[in-house]
Chains A and B, each alone.
Chain A
C-alpha cells in the first residue's frame, strides 16, 4: 500500500469521516475548508496521526501548513522524511 492510500484510510478511520470513503478522497483536494472539510481541531489530531502512523514529527507550523494542503502534499512530506 502506498503512502497516499494508507493516509486516506487513516484519515477516514482516525478522524471518523463516516460520510466519505478512502477512495472518494481526491489526492489534490484541500484537506481543510472546502474539500475534505477538516478544521483546526482536526489539524491537531493530524499532527498526532502522522507521528503515530508514520513516525514523522511535524514541529514547524509553517512546514505543517504546507504539508496539510492536500493528500498529495502530506504524502510527499512524509515520504521525504521517511526516506531520509
Chain B
C-alpha cells in the first residue's frame, strides 16, 4: 500500500490545546477530569466527562466570525488550524488538500437543539442555524470554507470504526493522486445527550477514573476533543512518522493478525465488555500501552491514539501507560513501530501500523 507521512498534528482535549500540552499529559500520565450536568428523570445528575476548551481558536479566527459556529465545529476548526500550523502549511495554497473528518456521534448538541426547537415551536419555528450546523458534514464545511480548502471533503461516521474507516479513504485519495495532502481529523463532543446515555448505561454511580483493562467493572468516562493530522504520500522530508498500513475487519471473516515487532497501542477505554478482548489480543511476550485515560471514552479517541503514536515514534520513546496493562508495559525502551488497535462489539477490529 501507499505509505503515508504524518507531517503535522493538531490536538485539543481535556489535556489542553496543542502538541506541547498533549505531550506533557502523555509524559505525566494524567489529566483533570471535568463533568457535565444533565437533566434526568431522577433530577439533575453530574456525569464525569473529559471537557475540551476551544478558546484557543481565537488565535486564528476572529470571535465575530465564529458566532454561528457551534462547539463541535469549533473543535474541528481548532484541530485543523493547529495541525496545519504544525505542518507549516498555514497560509499556503490549500487547493490540492483533501479533508476527511471522522466522528462517532457528530454534532449531538446542535442536532438535539434543532429537534427541541422543532418540537417546541413546530416546523415554522425550527432554527435554520441549528439545522445548518446539524448536517453531518457541517464541521467539514466550516473548516473548508474558513481555511480555503478546495479539495474533496468527506465526513465518515461508523461509531468505533469511524477513524480507521476515514483513514482508509484518506489513504486512497493520496494513493490515487487526487490530492497532495489530506487534512485528516476526528472530533466528538460531550453533550447532554451523550451524558444522558452514559448515565443511563453506567449510573447512578459513575467511575471517577478509567481502568481500561478491568473486565469486571465499567469505568468509561465520556470525552470530547479533536485530533487532526496532516498526511501526505511518503515522498521524504521531515515528518513525525509514517503510516504503513490501515486495516479494518471482523474476526468472523478471518483471524486478527498483529505485527510481532510493534508496540501495541490499545484503544481500551473502560467499557468492560471490551477489556477482555483487548487483553486477549496481545500475544505472549508482546508489549502494549494504552493512553485513553488521558482523553476519555469516545469514538474519536482512535485519532488521539494515532497522534500519541506519532509523537512516540518521533522521539523514539514510548510514553508510559497510565493505567496498564501492566503485564505488557512498554517500559522505557526504544520504539520504532507501533500498531494502534481498535476493537468494537464482539468481533470488529481495526489496526493502523505506524513506523519511524
Which residues in A have some Cβ–Cβ distance to B below 8 Å?
15-19, 37, 41, 44-45, 48, 51-52, 57
B94-132: CB near A (< 8 Å → 1, else 0) gives 000000000000000000000000000100111111001
Residue contact B67 to A48, C-beta cutoff 8 Å: no
Residue contact B67 to A17, C-beta cutoff 8 Å: yes
Q: Looking across the interface, which residue of chain A has its beta carbon closest to that of B130? A: A45
Interface residues of B in 61-76 (CB under 8 A from A): 63-64, 67-68
Residues from chain A with a CB closer than 8 A to the CB of B68 are 16, 41
In the bound assembly, the distance between CA atoms of A44 and B68 in angstroms comes to 13
Q: How many chain-B residues does the 8 Å CB contact rule pick out? A: 12
Instruction: Give chain B's interface secondary structure class.
Output: helix
Distance between A64 CB and nearest chain B CB, rounded to angstroms: 14
Residues from chain A with a CB closer than 8 A to the CB of B67 are 15-18
Distance between A16 CB and nearest chain B CB, rounded to angstroms: 4
In the bound assembly, the distance between CA atoms of A17 and B64 in angstroms comes to 8
8 nearest A-B pairs in the assembled complex, by CB-CB distance: A52-B125, A16-B67, A44-B128, A52-B121, A48-B125, A45-B129, A45-B128, A51-B125
Distance between A25 CB and nearest chain B CB, rounded to angstroms: 15
Pick the residue among A15, A18, A37, A57 that contacts B124 (CB under 8 A): A57
Residue contact B64 to A48, C-beta cutoff 8 Å: no
A17-B67, A44-B128, A45-B127 known, 12 other contacts, Cβ within 8 Å: A16-B67, A16-B68, A19-B63, A19-B64, A37-B64, A41-B128, A41-B132, A45-B128, A48-B128, A51-B124, A51-B125, A52-B121
In the bound assembly, the distance between CA atoms of A15 and B129 in angstroms comes to 9
Q: Which of B63, B126, B129 has the most CB of A within 10 A?
A: B129
Q: How many A-B residue pairs have CB under 8 A?
A: 30
Residues from chain B with a CB closer than 8 A to the CB of A45 are 127-129
The contact sample of 23 A-B pairs, CB cut-off 8 A, is A16-B67, A16-B68, A18-B63, A18-B64, A18-B67, A19-B63, A19-B64, A37-B64, A41-B68, A41-B128, A41-B132, A44-B128, A45-B127, A45-B129, A48-B121, A48-B124, A48-B125, A48-B127, A48-B128, A51-B121, A51-B124, A51-B125, A52-B125
In the bound assembly, the distance between CA atoms of A21 and B63 in angstroms comes to 15
Q: Looking across the interface, which residue of chain A has its beta carbon closest to that of B70? A: A16
Residues from chain A with a CB closer than 8 A to the CB of B124 are 48, 51, 57
B243-255: CB near A (< 8 Å → 1, else 0) gives 0000000000000
Distance between B123 CB and nearest chain A CB, rounded to angstroms: 10
B336-354: CB near A (< 8 Å → 1, else 0) gives 0000000000000000000
Residues from chain A with a CB closer than 8 A to the CB of B121 are 48, 51-52
In the bound assembly, the distance between CA atoms of A37 and B63 in angstroms comes to 14
Distance between B124 CB and nearest chain A CB, rounded to angstroms: 6
Residues from chain B with a CB closer than 8 A to the CB of A19 are 63-64
In the bound assembly, the distance between CA atoms of A81 and B132 in angstroms comes to 30
Q: Which of A15, A41, A52 has the most CB of B within 10 A?
A: A52
Q: Looking across the interface, which residue of chain B has its beta carbon closest to that of A15? A: B67
Q: Looking across the interface, which residue of chain B has its beta carbon closest to that of A39? A: B68
Q: Looking across the interface, which residue of chain A has its beta carbon closest to that of B121? A: A52
Distance between A77 CB and nearest chain B CB, rounded to angstroms: 17
Distance between B325 CB and nearest chain A CB, rounded to angstroms: 46
Distance between B118 CB and nearest chain A CB, rounded to angstroms: 11
Residues from chain B with a CB closer than 8 A to the CB of A18 are 63-64, 67
In the bound assembly, the distance between CA atoms of A48 and B127 in angstroms comes to 7
Interface residues of B in 255-286 (CB under 8 A from A): none
In the bound assembly, the distance between CA atoms of A15 and B121 in angstroms comes to 17
Residues from chain A with a CB closer than 8 A to the CB of B127 are 45, 48
Q: Looking across the interface, which residue of chain A has its beta carbon closest to that of B132? A: A41
